[in-house]
Chain A
Amino acid sequence: MNIELKNISKNFGQFAALKSVNLKVDGGELVALLGPSGSGKTTLLRIIAGLETADAGSVLYNGEDSSTKSLRERRVGFVFQHYALFRHMTVFENIAFGLRVRPRAQRPSNAEIEDRVMKLLKLVQLENLSHRYPSQLSGGQRQRVALSRALAVEPSVLLLDEPFGALDAHVRKDLRRWLRKLHDEVHLTSVFVTHDQEEALEVADRVVVMNEGVIEQAGTPEEVYHHPNSPFVFRFLGDVNLFHSRMEDGKARLGPNGHLKEGSEESCVFVRPHLIDVKTQSDGSEHFAARVRHINAAGPNVKLELMTANGEAVDVTLTQEQYRALGIAKNDQVFATAREMKVFVEDYSI
């Protein structure tokens, strides 16, 4: 089932949560809605589900307008951030709920229900916990129960609202890998909301970056990461250093070594921390000189915090090998060169 959103707008009082959003999700695709809080991503998801109605625009399921269809009629599986499990029911009853509430004519027999629930429990690796109550489960287990509960009704679309948001880092990593695997097996059209760029880039087929009620960019993880179309997307998808610079012969110059011309344009230069080279000796070609303010060598990479002559802080990430070869210490003078930079001129086009 594919989903198409046409000119979706939604206001909460004076606040415009969504401003004429257009999006198409292909059948079997796993799409991430990525953005900071307040960007409208959850509202968009709730509109797709039918939990919220748009002020304007339409939601098409397989080309058919679903705007007037209720949540019940849309056959969507919805997974909530805080699980929303029925706490007075066992894991088994939670998952069976969607089957038990069907009209008598469509309701599967008890044996069929049991069969299907046990299959789902196996899928989420919780076979042994079917008689537990939600309060007796860990956060990760609860979220897996919530997921199998949504899958039990065989939805045509799976929607997940910050599914791993309330979990700790470790469980989160496990679960998102598991979600990817599950999606590869089931191939259900899925949309999930997240504010974690790592999660979106790792799990999704396509990432939709949202900001202030509009879609900034939509594309594969590689596209949005390597070819961001706006400073916002670039900044949101990873650590970044921002330099204010001026354009010169159509080129941006960084640092004091850039000889500025009169009347050149203001521009923003973005450099990722791992794309900066650091030397201890000047050879005249470097972009700027700086002093080492802080070194964090714990972890796979070494993170340096540099301070330029005019007081700008610059983050640099080195490999452990590079760091050892340099042999630098706190307060040393270093010379930095950006290997790759991204320039956005005033109107934010490249």
Chain B
Amino acid sequence: MLLKRNTVLPGFRLAGGFTVFYLSLIVLIPLGAMFVRASSLTWGSFWEIVTAPRVLASYKLSLGTAFAAASINAVFGFLVAWVLVRYPFPGKKLVDALVDLPFALPTAVAGISLTTLYAPKGWIGQFLEPLGLKVAFTPLGIVVALVFIGLPFVVRTVQPVLEEIEKESEEAAESLGATRWQTFRLVIFPCLVPSLLAGFAMAFARGLGEYGSVVFISGNMPMKTEITPLLIMTKLEQFDYPGATALGISMLAASFLMLLVINLLQWWSGKRLGRG
């Protein structure tokens, strides 16, 4: 009865019904199935699986590298978006299109080419090696792969918001005596924070789940460079389905928690912008 209201936009019941059905089919049912699978475990054995030392090490690695990569992307993705919006330069369309490449490229291809580049004998690796920097087959390599994968998320969320910022509010700030830096820090940046957080969240979530590119560059050494999705894969190969689902649930919980926190942050900063 609550939904029975006369609105200008027709078809809410049909559209709403479809949305619920579709989301159930695509998202909720598979997730639900995972919980059903895991329920074959007792609470004790579930806990044992998800807190095994090798698993704990993989959480640390997965969360740490995803976080580091998302942070790097937040900074440099923001710079890329800034340059793309603010300055006209030859080849701008091409650069703009290039940003989407990590979306389109099969992640395994990205992983293999990054590994080739950063391996101790690779094009870039050979110069880093003498400096004592090992990239491929270390956590650093994982970060590199995740930075590559996550870049478009930040650029594509910040870009439209940056385009929308009125030139007038910058002019107003300057006429009031603000320096360029003050104008950026006090006027432009606060307007971008929600979109930057959104981009960060997506890059982070993507990084947590990334498998294809990471397995090539990480070397997959237990306790050192083994990410959680790889552990799930390993368990599946050993036909340990309950174990794999248990890990899946713990990752799901972690992702959900992170997204919740970031959504709250976004809601809070959006409210300050008068949109909440």
Interface residues of B in 168-195 (CB under 8 A from A): 168-169, 171-179, 182, 186-187, 190-191
Residue of A nearest to B274 (CB): A135
- C-alpha gap A87/B274 in the complex (Å): 7
Q: List residues of chain A with CB within 8 A of the CB of B274.
A: 87-88, 133-136
Chain B: minimal CB distance from A82 (Å): 6
Chain B: minimal CB distance from A159 (Å): 9
| Given A88-B273, A97-B186, also A72-B177 (CB < 8 A) | yes
Contact check, B176 vs A153: say whether CB atoms are below 8 A apart.
yes
- C-alpha gap A280/B261 in the complex (Å): 82
Chain A: minimal CB distance from B158 (Å): 16
Contact check, A84 vs B178: say whether CB atoms are below 8 A apart.
no
Q: List residues of chain A with CB within 8 A of the CB of B191.
A: 87-88
- C-alpha gap A87/B186 in the complex (Å): 11
Confirm or deny: A344 has a beta carbon within 8 angstroms of a beta carbon on chain B: no
- C-alpha gap A98/B272 in the complex (Å): 20
Interface residues of A in 17-66 (CB under 8 A from B): 49, 51
Measured as residues with beta carbon below 8 angstroms from the partner, the interface class of chain A is 20 to 34
Contact check, B175 vs A78: say whether CB atoms are below 8 A apart.
yes
| Given A88-B272, A101-B182, A134-B274, also A153-B168 (CB < 8 A) | no
Chain B: minimal CB distance from A189 (Å): 15
Contact check, A101 vs B272: say whether CB atoms are below 8 A apart.
no
Contact check, B166 vs A84: say whether CB atoms are below 8 A apart.
yes
Contact check, B166 vs A101: say whether CB atoms are below 8 A apart.
no
Contact check, A98 vs B176: say whether CB atoms are below 8 A apart.
yes
| Given A88-B190, A88-B273, A97-B186, also A71-B175 (CB < 8 A) | yes
Measured as residues with beta carbon below 8 angstroms from the partner, the interface class of chain B is 20 to 34
Chain A: minimal CB distance from B164 (Å): 11
- C-alpha gap A86/B191 in the complex (Å): 9
Q: List residues of chain B with CB within 8 A of the CB of A98.
A: 176-178
Q: List residues of chain B with CB within 8 A of the CB of A85.
A: 169, 172
Contact check, B169 vs A86: say whether CB atoms are below 8 A apart.
yes
- C-alpha gap A82/B171 in the complex (Å): 12
Contact check, A84 vs B171: say whether CB atoms are below 8 A apart.
yes
Confirm or deny: A232 has a beta carbon within 8 angstroms of a beta carbon on chain B: no
Confirm or deny: A213 has a beta carbon within 8 angstroms of a beta carbon on chain B: no
- C-alpha gap A88/B169 in the complex (Å): 11
Confirm or deny: A149 has a beta carbon within 8 angstroms of a beta carbon on chain B: yes
Contact check, A80 vs B176: say whether CB atoms are below 8 A apart.
no
How does the 8 Å CB contact mask read for A67-108 relative to B, with 1 for contact and 0 for none? Answer: 000111001111010101111100000000110011000000
Q: List residues of chain A with CB within 8 A of the CB of B182.
A: 101
Q: List residues of chain B with CB within 8 A of the CB of A133.
A: 272-274
Contact check, A80 vs B273: say whether CB atoms are below 8 A apart.
no
Q: List residues of chain A with CB within 8 A of the CB of B179.
A: 72, 101
- C-alpha gap A125/B275 in the complex (Å): 26
Chain B: minimal CB distance from A109 (Å): 17
Q: List residues of chain A with CB within 8 A of the CB of B178.
A: 72, 97-98, 101
Q: List residues of chain A with CB within 8 A of the CB of B186.
A: 86, 97, 101
Contact check, B169 vs A51: say whether CB atoms are below 8 A apart.
no
- C-alpha gap A82/B186 in the complex (Å): 20
Q: List residues of chain B with CB within 8 A of the CB of A75.
A: 177
Residue of B nearest to A100 (CB): B186
Chain A: minimal CB distance from B167 (Å): 9
Can you give 26 contacting A-B residue pairs, CB < 8 Å? A71-B171, A72-B174, A72-B179, A76-B175, A78-B171, A78-B172, A78-B175, A84-B169, A84-B171, A86-B186, A87-B273, A88-B190, A88-B191, A97-B176, A97-B178, A98-B178, A101-B182, A101-B186, A102-B177, A133-B272, A133-B273, A135-B273, A149-B176, A150-B175, A152-B176, A153-B176
Interface residues of chain B, those whose CB is within 8 Å of chain A, are: 166, 168-169, 171-179, 182, 186-187, 190-191, 272-275
The list of the 3 closest CB pairs from A to B, nearest first, reads: A135-B274, A98-B176, A84-B168
19 A-B pairs besides A72-B174, A150-B176 with CB distance below 8 A are A71-B171, A71-B174, A72-B175, A72-B177, A72-B179, A76-B175, A82-B166, A84-B171, A86-B169, A86-B173, A88-B190, A97-B176, A97-B178, A98-B176, A101-B177, A101-B182, A136-B274, A152-B176, A153-B176
